[in-house]
Amino acid sequence: MTGPRLPSELKIASQAAEIAQEAGALVRRFFERGVATEYKGDVDLVTEADRASEKLIVERLSAAWPTHGIFGEEGARQRMESEYRWYVDPLDGTTNFAHGFPVFCISLGLERRRPGLADGQDGELVAGVIYDPMRDELFAAEVGRGAWMNGRRIHVSATKTLSESLLATGFPSRKRHANPNIHFYQEFTLRSHGVRRAGSAALDLAYTACGRLDAFWEFNLNPWDTTAGALLVLEAGGTMTDFAGDLFRLDSREVLATNGRLQQELIALFANMFSGKDLSPIPTPREYAAARQRG
Ligand code: IPD
Ligand code: CA
Ligand code: CA
C-alpha cells in the first residue's frame, strides 16, 4: 500500500498505519458509493462501512500480532486477557460519513496491560494511529518516540491564552438531554476565537496534537475514540486530563486535551462553571425577539 510513511524506528505504528490506511481506503470507497444508515440509539448511527472496516482491521491486527487483544466499537472482543490490547474505532465520525460530510477517520490505539492489572485500571499507552482517508493524513505516535504526521514530527501549539485559542468539542449521541455541554460550548465560544464541532473526536485529538487546535474537550467518550489520540497529544507535548485536571483514564467520562499552556485556564473555567459561576448572560430568543420589536 502506498502513502505517507513513518520513520523506521516506529515499528508498531508503521504496521498499524498500513492497516489503518487499508481500512481508510475501504471506508472511502463506501463513502463514494453511498451506504444505508441504521440506528444504534437515539442519534447513534452505524453503517455497513463501520462493520466492514472493523472486520478488516480485526483480521489484519490478528494476522500481524496473533497474541494481542482487540476491543472494537462494533463488537470485536478478542483475547481480552492479553497483555497488549488494541482499541479500534473502525470509523470515527459516522454521522458525518452518513451525511456525506467528509470528516472521519480510522483510529487504532494500543495499550500494554502488565500482568496483574485489575479491570478498570489503565495500562500504558504504547502506540496510536489515526488515518484520515479524505485528506490522506496519517497521524501516528509511539510512547517515547514522539508524534508524527505524514512522516513529519508534530507538536502542540504555542497559544498561551484562551482568548487567542481555537478549540473543539463534541456532543454525545446518547442521552443528549442529560448533558450540559451546550453551556460549556457557549462559554468557551464567547471567550476564544471559536469552538469547532467537526464530528470526529479522534481527529479533534490529532488536530490538537499537531497544533491546528489548541485544546479539545468532550464528555462520555469511549476508549476506542481516545486511546490513539491521547498518546498523540502526550507525545506532541500536550496534556490529557479530566475537567478537574486529574490524569486522563481510558474509561474517563471527561476528556480535556490541551497544548499545556492553556490547561490551567481551562480547568479553572470548568471549576467555576461547575460551581454555577462564569455563565455569561446572553438573551433568550424571546428576549431577543422582544428587543428586536422595540427596535
Ligand atoms: C463519535 C465522534 C463524535 C463524538 C461522539 C462519538 P462515532 O464517534 O467521535 O465526534 O462527538 O461522541 O461517539 O460514533 O462516529 O465513532
Ligand atoms: Ca468514535
Ligand atoms: Ca465509530
Q: Is the CB of 142 under 6 A from ligand 1?
A: no
Instruction: Assign domain 162-275 to its CATH architecture.
Output: 3-Layer(aba) Sandwich (3.40)
Q: Is the model's pLDDT at 91 over the cut of 90?
A: yes
What is the model's pLDDT at position 141? 98
Alpha-carbon span 126 to 78, nearest angstrom: 18
Give the mean model confidence (pLDDT) for residues 147-171: 97
Grid cell, residue 239, equals 496534556
The predicted structure's pLDDT at residue 102: 97
Instruction: Give pLDDT, residue 177.
Output: 83
Provide the pLDDT for residue 214. 98
Q: Cell 463501520 belongs to which residue?
A: 50
CA 8 / ligand 1 centre spacing (Å): 31
Distance from Cα 160 to the centre of ligand 3, integer Å: 33
The domain segmentation of the chain, as residue ranges, is: 11-153, 162-275
Query: For ligand 1, what atom is nearest to the CA of residue 200?
Result: 10
User: pLDDT band for position 235 (50/70/90)?
Assistant: very high
pLDDT of residue 45: 72
Probe residue for ligand 1, chosen from 221, 252, 254, 255 as the CB with the greatest number of ligand atoms within 8 Å: 221
Instruction: Please give the grid coordinates belonging to residue 181.
Output: 455541554
Please tell me which residue, 237 or 172, carries the higher pLDDT value: 237
Q: Looking at the predicted structure, is the pLDDT value of residue 50 above 80?
A: yes
Average pLDDT of the segment spanning 175-196: 93
CATH class in words for 11-153: alpha beta
93: alpha, beta or left? (left if phi > 0; alpha if psi -120 to 50)? left
Q: How far is the CA of 95 from the centre of ligand 2 (A)?
A: 10
Compute the average pLDDT of residues 246-260. Answer: 96
- The verdict on the CB of residue 225 being under 6 Å from ligand 1 is yes
Which ligand 1 atom lies nearest to the CA of residue 97? Answer: 15
Going by their DSSP bridges, the two strands 239-241 and 254-258 should be labelled as: antiparallel
Average pLDDT of the segment spanning 130-150 = 98
| Percent above pLDDT 70 for the chain | 97
Residue 1 is predicted with a pLDDT of 47
d(Cα 194, Cα 175) in Å, to the nearest integer?
25
Strand ordering across the sheet containing 194-196: 194-196, 166-169, 215-219, 254-258, 239-241
Average pLDDT over residues 31-44: 79
**Ligand nearest 98 Cα, by number?**
1
Mean pLDDT, range 58-81, rounded to an integer = 96
Q: Which of 46, 77, 52 is nearest to 62 (CA)?
A: 77
Instruction: Check: pTM over 0.85? Answer yes or no.
Output: yes
The count of C-alpha atoms lying within 13 angstroms of the C-alpha of 42, restricted to the half-sphere facing its C-beta, is 7
Tell me the pLDDT band of 4, cut-offs 50, 70 and 90.
low
Question: pLDDT averaged over the chain?
Answer: 94
Q: Please name the residue whose Cα sits nearest to atom 16 of ligand 1.
A: 92
CA gap 99, 37 in Å, rounded: 9
Among all ligands shown, which has an atom nearest to the Cα of 27?
3
Distance between CA 273 and CA 270 in Å, rounded? 5
